[in-house]
Amino acid sequence: EIKYRTKHLLSTMERLDEPYQRLTKQVETCQDPSDAKKALEDRIETLMPIYQQIAVKFASLHDTPGRMKAKEVVSAVVSWRSARRFFFSRVRRRVYEEQVRRKIREADSSLRRNEITQILKRWHKDDAGLRPESFETDDVGVFEWLSIRSQRIEDRIETEILAPCLSKRIEEVVRNRPNCAVSGLIQLLSSMQMQPQVAGQAQALGPLTGSLTGSLPNSSGTHLQNQRQNLLQGIFGAGRRTSSAASSQTSNSTSSRPAPNPWSSRNVL
């Protein structure tokens, strides 16, 4: 009834019903088609309720679970007996998963949803050793993975997503605005409270930062660039010497390394 209007129903009757076909020919060929028209109208009145029921059934077949799954509109058919347990597990998993997705987007806002999905699938496969398709179907397993491995997931967000994103941003600043980058680095080293793990490097960089900070504002153009170049060389050279000295004390072995490029993204970061 929805898919088949009256004209479509009449066309279907003409295609399938032989008495209808015969009466239609009589109406077209007879000199006095009044009797044939009356018989044709009676035939239409008899067939219309039946064809309307068929039309309704035909339309409803498009929305059955089996048909929807065959057309890949839904991923699975849930039985009524297990529906409550299934949707509870699905909602619980989705809520927890969206929290992780939000953290990933906060770390790198350029990632799209499908890209985040691929990242989660890869992490799930690495940790659980399962096939990627289980990430879509195993709601209970994915929820347990997200909850049990929450700390590991946060660590991977920081190391695999946040750190590269920040490194890229800093590299772009250093490449596009080197003067601003150097000035900001001087101010940062002069004012920030250094963490315990870099206290040794902070102590080594302290005299260098203080001396150069005082000389930079009064320098002219060319001299200012030279001072900033020397600052970067001194900073990253001091950092390299500090880490080399620590490695030497631990392993009792020394190694010679070439002077680092002060404008390299690896050294800047």
- pLDDT at residue 226 in the model: 56
Q: Model confidence over 1-27: pLDDT tens digits?
A: 456 788 888 888 889 989 888 888 888
User: What is the Cα–Cα distance from 247 to 48, expressed in whole angstroms?
Assistant: 92
What is the model's pLDDT at position 196?
Answer: 52
pLDDT in tens, 92-122: 999 999 999 999 999 998 999 999 999 998 8
**Cα 46 → chain centroid:** 58
Is residue 238 within 8 Å of residue 204, measured between CB atoms?
Answer: yes
Q: What is the pLDDT of residue 194?
A: 52
Predicted pLDDT of residue 1: 47
User: Which pLDDT score, from 0 to 100, does residue 171 have?
Assistant: 82
Encoded amino acid at 160, one letter: E
Phi-psi category of 179—alpha, beta or left, where left has phi over 0 and alpha has psi -120 to 50?
alpha
Cβ atoms of 48 and 65 closer than 8 Å: no
Backbone angles phi, psi at 40, to 5 degrees: -65, -40
**Which residue stretches of the chain have pLDDT < 50?**
1, 197-202, 204-221, 223-224, 235-269
pLDDT at residue 241 in the model: 45
The pLDDT value given to residue 127:
82
Question: How high is the pLDDT of residue 100?
Answer: 94
Q: Are 102 and 151 spatial neighbours (Cβ–Cβ below 8 Å)?
A: no
Q: Say if pTM beats, i.e. exceeds, 0.85.
A: no
- In angstroms, the Cα distances linking 142 to 84, 106, 190 are 18, 22, 46
Structure tokens at 38: 């009356």
